[in-house]
Amino acid sequence: MKKMISTFLSGALLLFPLSAVLAYDGGAVSDGGTITGSVKFKGTAPAPKKIEANKDTEVCGKTPKTDASLIVSGGNLVNAVVYISDIKKGKKMEPQKVTLDQKGCEYHPHVLAFPAGSTVEIQNPDGILHNIHSYSKVNSPFNIAQPKFKKSVPQKIDKPETINVKCDVHGWMNGWLFAAENPYYGVTDNSGNFKLTDVPPGNYTVEVWHETLGKTTQKVTVKAKEEAKVNFEMAKK
């Protein structure tokens, strides 16, 4: 009997790949609640490290630069991605067209979050050569030279993944793409706040990812048309 069940499951996975079986199911949510909260930095935040823009200084050196890998504002952690990691059904998720700007030889925003399947328009308004290089592991990596006459280059990100991007021309340029597997995600603002809306009632795991501090999770219960609050603290390990 066990052998029959195993054979059936194997056949089912051949007909329906695991990614399809576990795919997020999006639709209308009529009684959704909201998850709000903040992410704080625990301890004393280090002073931002200054960056020397030592190439194409006529463009890159116009404004002072600091390392954006850890930004703490009034004790609040900026650029942390907050998302529900275990939700399988909820509001509709559609691919988007989002923008990653390289103005002033820096990535704006530093952390760009969007649904998997979206297209990232990589912009170069600087009038100099940039070369954006992704360090993807799930998606196909890309390494794109973008001369000054290429003002915009589209790049589709098909699968959920957190991707580091760098510029091979300007070594200090560093940013992140967060391709989400469901629509319940956000990036903390300058006050460390986030808000996830239209969440179906249920019990969920809310996860926070930060590029230098790692990950942390909390359980949260969402009730119909109510607000659930959850706050996080993250510290250097």
5 in a domain, yes or no?
A: no
Residue 9: which H helix or E strand, with range? helix 2-15
DSSP state of 2: H
Residue 207 CB-density burial (10 A; 0-12 exposed, 13-18 middle, 19+ buried) = middle
The pLDDT tens digits for 71-96 are 999 999 999 999 999 999 999 999 99
212, 234 Cβ separation under 8 angstroms? no
Q: Quick check: is 151 in a domain?
A: yes
Q: Closest by alpha carbon to 211, among 117, 122, 107, 125?
A: 107
Here the contacts of 93-97 (C-beta below 8 Å, separation 24 or greater) are: 93/24, 93/26, 93/182, 93/183, 95/119, 97/121
Taking only the tens place, the pLDDT of each residue in 31-65 is 999 999 999 999 999 998 999 999 999 999 999 99
Chain segment 126-182, per-residue pLDDT in tens = 999 999 999 999 999 999 999 999 999 999 999 999 999 999 999 999 999 999 999
Q: What percent of the chain has pLDDT over 90?
A: 89
Looking at the domain assignment, is residue 14 inside a domain?
no
Give the structural domain span for 195: 24-234
Query: Taking the alpha carbons of 136, 35, 217, 39 in that order, is the dihedral positive or negative?
Result: positive
The reported pLDDT for the residue numbered 22 is 54
**Structural domain contains residue 97:** yes
Q: Judge whether 2 lies within some domain.
A: no
What rounded mean pLDDT belongs to the chain?
Answer: 92
Kindly report the CATH number assigned to the domain that includes residue 167: 2.60.40.420
Q: Is residue 45 part of a domain?
A: yes
What are the distances in angstroms from CA 130 to CA 198, 209, 222? 39, 28, 45
Does 69 map to a domain?
yes
pTM for the model = 0.90
The total number of structural domains in the chain stands at 1
How far is the C-alpha of 132 from the C-alpha of 90, rounded, in Å? 34
